[in-house]
Amino acid sequence: MGAGDIFKRVLVGRKLASAQLGETLLPKRIALPVFASDALSSVAYAPDEILLTLSLAGMAGFAFSWPIAVAVALVMLLVVLSYRQTVHAYPSGGGDYEVATVNIGPSAGLVVASALLVDYVLTVAVSVSSGIQNAKAMLPFLSGHEGIWAAAVIVTLMAMNLRGVRESGSFFSIPTYGFMLGVLGMTIWGLFRIFGLGQHLQAPTAAYDVVGSPAYEPFAGVAMVVLLARAFSSGCAALTGVEAISNGVPAFREPKSRNAATTLALLGTIAITMLSGIIVLANLTGLKLIDPEGHSHFVTKGVPADVAHETAMGQLARTVFDTFPIGFYFVITATMIILFLAANTAFNGFPVLGSILARDGFLPKMLHSRGDRLAYSNGILLLATAAVGLVLAFNASVTALIQLYVVGVFVSFTVSQFGMTRHWTRHLRTERDPSVRARMQRSRAINVIGLTGTGIVLVIVLASKFIFGAYLAVLAMAVLFVLMRAIRNHYAKVAKEVAVGPVDARLLPSRVRAVIMVQEINKPTMRAVNFARATRASAIEAVTVAVDEAETRQIVDAWNAQNLDVPLKVIASPYREVTGPFLNYVRGIRSDNPRDVVCVYIPEYVVGHWWEQLLHNQTGLILRTRLNFMPGVMVTSVPYQLASSRYAYDRAERHSAAAWRRPGSGRVRMGSMGDSSRRE
């Protein structure tokens, strides 16, 4: 096994056979942290964004934090109930994309797919960036280098996901459950101290007043409506990730739909409880946040105060566990980790959606292939690359990235709910069983309510965030939409162009003219000559390019000494170039008859080490590339194995033998998939 193979095995683990796909399916206890970590972790930054936005109105704005939290919780409840209908009706894993495509049309499905792909990239960027911001409470050296550290975390998550969904999910489950325990425990203990023990808990920022932006003074009328809408849309970040379960139904154990619906219900209950608890504690402890861009600031007795920025989670943990430091560090550590791991939801949703789109011809086919660990490796790599670019471009600023966020997910929510409404309406036209009709009507009512709620939120999000950065997300969706349509059109055009006609299977070339590329008189060249002669072409000749007069004379003499019945043509090259004169010669001997073929034979060394590739075959590589673009020309590489190729052969044999010995692999290799290879 070579160094590259060893590194790959260490990075992603041993290969899994296709027959082992069932071993990667998830029970509910692992599916919850795998698919719901994004929505659960959003309670760590959604309250921050609500409070930061309300701070622009000064002290008057914070009074609206709990009504906004209630509104966000109601929307989440609607979305969860709606998606429970989706996972039962469409368990194949297409999720919103499949719902929109089947019930509205391909264009609607592509709109949803574009929105979800953008949202998945932003999920990774926002979650990891938020984790870095929370980590600064314990690791101050991160300040100033947030983008670099966020990129490193994303690369680490990518490597873990390349090892497979189940393996990464098992690893992620412990910190996810730890985060739930930490937040719920902090909420319960804090409320008990306040109401049960009668203690007066005060957040570190409770003693300060907040002066807002002059744009929202007085806080009434249009200014109030605009700011509340903006705060609500920022808080709706808590809903991202809910749709991932509908896209990941195939990854659940049987019964898939029921397990997915149960996981959705657990997700909604836990997320709403944690979000509400944090907002209630923030109000009871007098917690305040200010806009890091300077549009709002702390004051004490009318004098501006310089207060270190700390997240809501950090302030609450410090306040509730003021006499129990271990509790503070546990909550902060769990929050930091869950925010990093929340990106795992996107690492599961994006590759699956990309695979479905690739299957339908809207994305490159390589995204449809599973890797060594039965994960969609190319989709994972693509997502990580896009997310790394974002965190570096925005230096892992949550406040900047959050403005691009949420738009995509609510586009998919709204279109999907409309599609589900049409789904039930279509089935009700033909269903006659009263009990089934009653169930369908109930499901349709849920989806209609969900459509109304998510549609209103989408309008609010677009109106309140468009000029603050949401337009970039909309632009990215539009670009993706156009790009995927172009890819689909390309695949359709190619399929039409290469379709087999009525005579293609019996259409033989009228003449075949064989041309052998000669650079030296040696065994590889003789093998190429003999192979060309064995094909019984209509005409055969060897060609060498005269770059150096002495070398050319030696080639001609050696050729004549072999007494071959194949003529050797010498092409002049006054500028000492090989490829150009040879290509011009081949171009010149091509016939106008479309059924005539020129077949070029190029001797090629087969080597055993990567560095030997740099020393051989370079001219042949260029010639093959250029000749492939010539109509009526075919290229045949005639391999000659050097002694060093034995090392590569032995490595491949050992690798195959090890794979054969793995449990279950023999059955696959003896079947129709015996020689197939997976593309990464």
Handedness of CA 199, 203, 209, 212 (dihedral sign): negative
Q: Could you give the percent of the chain with pLDDT greater than 70? A: 88
pLDDT at position 478 is 94
- In this structure, are residues 64 and 53 in contact, taking their beta carbons and an 8 Å threshold? no
CA distance 44 to 281: 13
| pLDDT exceeds cutoff 60 at 18 | no
If you count them, how many residues does the chain have?
680
**Collapsed DSSP state (helix, strand, coil) of residue 517:** strand
| pLDDT exceeds cutoff 70 at 374 | no
What string of DSSP letters covers 389-430?
HHHHHTTT-HHHHTTTSSHHHHHHHHHHHHHHHHHHHHHHTT
Which residues are CB-contacts of 65 (< 8 A; sequence separation ≥ 6)?
A: 47, 50, 51, 54, 231, 279, 282, 283
Pull the structure tokens for residue 74: 């109601």
Q: pLDDT category, 608, cuts 50, 70, 90?
A: confident
Q: pLDDT category, 80, cuts 50, 70, 90?
A: confident
CA distance 485 to 290: 43
Pull the structure tokens for residue 353: 């959606």
| pLDDT exceeds cutoff 50 at 671 | no
Lowest mean pLDDT among 207-221, 426-440, 523-537: 207-221
List of domains in the chain: 33-465 (1.20.1740.10), 512-642 (3.40.50.620)
Could you give the angle at the alpha carbon of 80 between the alpha carbons of 75 and 81, nearest 5°? 100
- In this structure, are residues 238 and 275 in contact, taking their beta carbons and an 8 Å threshold? yes
Lowest mean pLDDT among 136-145, 386-395, 512-521, 529-538: 136-145
pLDDT at position 653 is 66
Neighbours of 251 (CB within 10 A): 23
- In this structure, are residues 628 and 614 in contact, taking their beta carbons and an 8 Å threshold? no
pLDDT at position 659 is 53
pLDDT at position 1 is 47
Q: Give me the amino acid identity at 21.
A: L
pLDDT at position 184 is 94
Helix (H) or strand (E) holding 572: strand 568-572
- In this structure, are residues 398 and 134 in contact, taking their beta carbons and an 8 Å threshold? no
pLDDT at position 108 is 93
- Strand ordering across the sheet containing 511-517: 568-572, 539-546, 511-517, 596-606, 633-641
pLDDT at position 648 is 67
Give, in order, the Cα–Cα distances in Å from 134 to each of 10, 142, 197, 291, 465.
31, 10, 30, 16, 24
| pLDDT exceeds cutoff 90 at 614 | no
Give, in order, the Cα–Cα distances in Å from 621 to each of 444, 600, 614.
61, 13, 11
Neighbours of 480 (CB within 10 A): 21
- In this structure, are residues 332 and 134 in contact, taking their beta carbons and an 8 Å threshold? yes
Q: pLDDT category, 525, cuts 50, 70, 90?
A: very high
CA distance 548 to 553: 9
Strand partners, 26: 252
Pull the structure tokens for residue 402: 């959050």
Inter-helix orientation angle 407-428/65-89, to 10°? 50
Pull the structure tokens for residue 562: 């072999």
Neighbours of 633 (CB within 10 A): 20
CA distance 15 to 328: 42
**Mean per-residue pLDDT, 306-335:** 88
CA distance 626 to 63: 71
| pLDDT exceeds cutoff 60 at 249 | yes
Strand partners, 544: 570
| pLDDT exceeds cutoff 70 at 509 | yes
Pull the structure tokens for residue 401: 């990235």
pLDDT at position 656 is 59
Q: Write the pLDDT tens digit of every residue in 112-169.
A: 999 989 988 988 888 888 788 777 766 777 777 788 988 998 998 888 777 655 445 5
**Mean per-residue pLDDT, 223-249:** 79
* Residue tagged 């670009």 (tokens): 479
Q: pLDDT category, 194, cuts 50, 70, 90?
A: very high
Q: Write the pLDDT tens digit of every residue in 444-494.
A: 998 898 888 888 888 888 887 777 777 888 899 999 999 999 999 999 998
**CA-based nearest residue to 348, from 32, 659, 14:** 32
Neighbours of 571 (CB within 10 A): 15
CB-based burial, 111-143: b 16+ in 10 Å, e otherwise: bbbbbbbbbbbbbbbbbbbbbbbbbbbeeeebe
Please tell me which residue, 433 or 653, carries the higher pLDDT value: 433
HSE-up of residue 461 (Cα within 13 Å, Cβ side):
29
Q: Tell me whether the omega of the peptide bond preceding residue 255 falls within 30 degrees of 0, making it cis.
A: yes
Helix (H) or strand (E) holding 530: helix 523-534
